Chains A and B, each alone.
Chain A
Amino acid sequence: MNLHEHLTATLDRVDETGPDLVRLTAVARRRGTGLRRRRTTGLAAAASVAVLAMTGGVVVAISGPDGTGPSIATEPVRPDLGGATAPTTGESAALALQWTVGQQRPGSASDLAGQLSATSGDYYVEIHWDDADALGASVVGLNVQHGRGMHATCDDPEHLGCRATRLSDGSELTTYEERADVPGGPATRRVADLLRPDRIRIVASSTDGVDAEDGSWDRTRPTPPLSLADLTSIVRRPMWGDELPVAFVDAGQGLEPYRDLDDHGGWIHGPA
């Protein structure tokens, strides 16, 4: 027997039924759509996105309430925003996201997850947010990138209700909604995308549901809980960067439960 015949005989025994191609296709499409989305707002370094010139816009300044927002069910960290800082970790960024969302909306967070690139310092974190309106859970994500110059624009037809503005400090802000036609969907995501003068890009998003176990979209609520103004307040917080207030970093050490997306979805980082 040659090796192919040996392998075939072996596989006939360990793989009698074969893959569920229908499910495989559906899940791969959904994950692929998510990857595409993350390539424009996320960590996938291979993406090449043409940066289109921003058109002039109305200057808006939306200030977030610093530390005076409504209380939330789970708020383990009380940071000193003007105090000492320490290098950002995935855990600390997830806690910082949880805290900032809690400053905008009453509710509670669970399933903290994230990833941080040791080389670029970029990070992506997300939480499941159960808003106090009790309409259903949402995935709130935050992505921080350094120096790539990429930034969402309103030239993309998939950016619904898009508004691009140049802020008084020179930052460029784009807010929009997008909808994806996925099983269980359509899924809606609101996004605020800020490119600061220091070339750090911060993207915050909120969805109208969560991923279901079978890979489909579980649309839990009619709209995302965070408004574009809420998301704008989050991205405009000056703390996002290489370091975070030390309270987040300290609290993030040994944080449990915390899902490391590098570990959980490690396959994602291969080239494609």
Chain B
Amino acid sequence: MTITKTDVGPTAGREVSRVQDFDELVAATGRQLHRAALLLTGGDHHLAEDLLQTTYAKVYASWSRVSRADDPVAYTRTVLTRTFLSHRRLRRSSEQPSDELPERAADPPDRAVRLDLVAALQELSAADRVVVVHRYWLDRSVAETARELRISETAVRTRSRRALARLRLHLTDLDEES
């Protein structure tokens, strides 16, 4: 039996469209945002998956608003990072201070160092890590990062500069203009 629009009715038709559009958004962004979630959560696959699922669940729950947004992908990125930061706030008491990064010898850029990059990200403050992920993984400009994170461009630059200085302790071959 062929189901026509009349058969499913206007409400069901909207639901089908919502599902299709949402599925397309996940297909287009899922892999990149999954990796962003991994960077934010220190490479914890379970936490990253939960963060990403929650992000998309929120997006789906607010689909009428998301679909009207100028850039639904940017909206989704914002939900991801704000959800991450919100979660961090809830668990604030268990966070470790990250003001000082231990001194370490410069290792060659082999596999161990690459995996250490995840650990180094964990040593950044959550807010600095979010900026790094937006700027250098999601390739957002300073202005876009500021807009999506709702902080000033000055704050983005300051956090980026501070984070890169710390990451250079691990990545000796990191370009100056990263």
Are the C-beta atoms of A19 and B174 separated by less than 8 Å?
A: no
Cα A13 to Cα B177 in complex, Å, equals: 25
Interface size class of A (residues with CB under 8 A): 35 or more
B62 on the interface (CB 8 Å rule)?
Answer: yes
Which one of B45, B84, B109, B136 contacts A3 once the chains associate, using CB atoms below 8 Å?
B136
Are the C-beta atoms of B164 and A14 separated by less than 8 Å?
A: no
Are the C-beta atoms of A272 and B136 separated by less than 8 Å?
A: no
Stretch at the interface among A85-93, A139-147, A169-177, A263-271: A263-271
| B15, B49, B51 interface centre (most CB from chain A within 10 Å) | B49
Min CB distance, B121 to chain A, in Å?
9
Cα A30 to Cα B54 in complex, Å, equals: 11
Cα A268 to Cα B50 in complex, Å, equals: 10
The A154-211 residues at the B interface (CB cut-off 8 A) are: 157, 181
Cα A112 to Cα B28 in complex, Å, equals: 38
Secondary structure type dominating chain A contacts: helix
Min CB distance, A17 to chain B, in Å?
10
A50 / chain B contacts, CB cutoff of 8 Å: none
B52 / chain A contacts, CB cutoff of 8 Å: 19, 24
The A25-44 residues at the B interface (CB cut-off 8 A) are: 25, 27-36, 39
Are the C-beta atoms of A11 and B11 separated by less than 8 Å?
A: no
A10 on the interface (CB 8 Å rule)?
Answer: yes
B30 / chain A contacts, CB cutoff of 8 Å: 19, 21, 24-25
B86 / chain A contacts, CB cutoff of 8 Å: 266-267, 269-271
B175 on the interface (CB 8 Å rule)?
Answer: yes
A-B contact count, CB below 8 Å? Answer: 150
Are the C-beta atoms of B175 and A267 separated by less than 8 Å?
A: no
Cα A13 to Cα B39 in complex, Å, equals: 12
**Contact A31-B136, Cβ < 8 Å, known A6-B171, A270-B85:** no
Which one of B57, B111, B175, B177 contacts A35 once the chains associate, using CB atoms below 8 Å?
B57
Cα A39 to Cα B173 in complex, Å, equals: 49
Stretch at the interface among B18-26, B98-106, B141-149, B151-159: B18-26
9 A/B residue pairs, CB under 8 Å, sorted by A: A2-B177, A4-B178, A6-B114, A21-B26, A24-B56, A25-B26, A28-B53, A267-B50, A267-B54
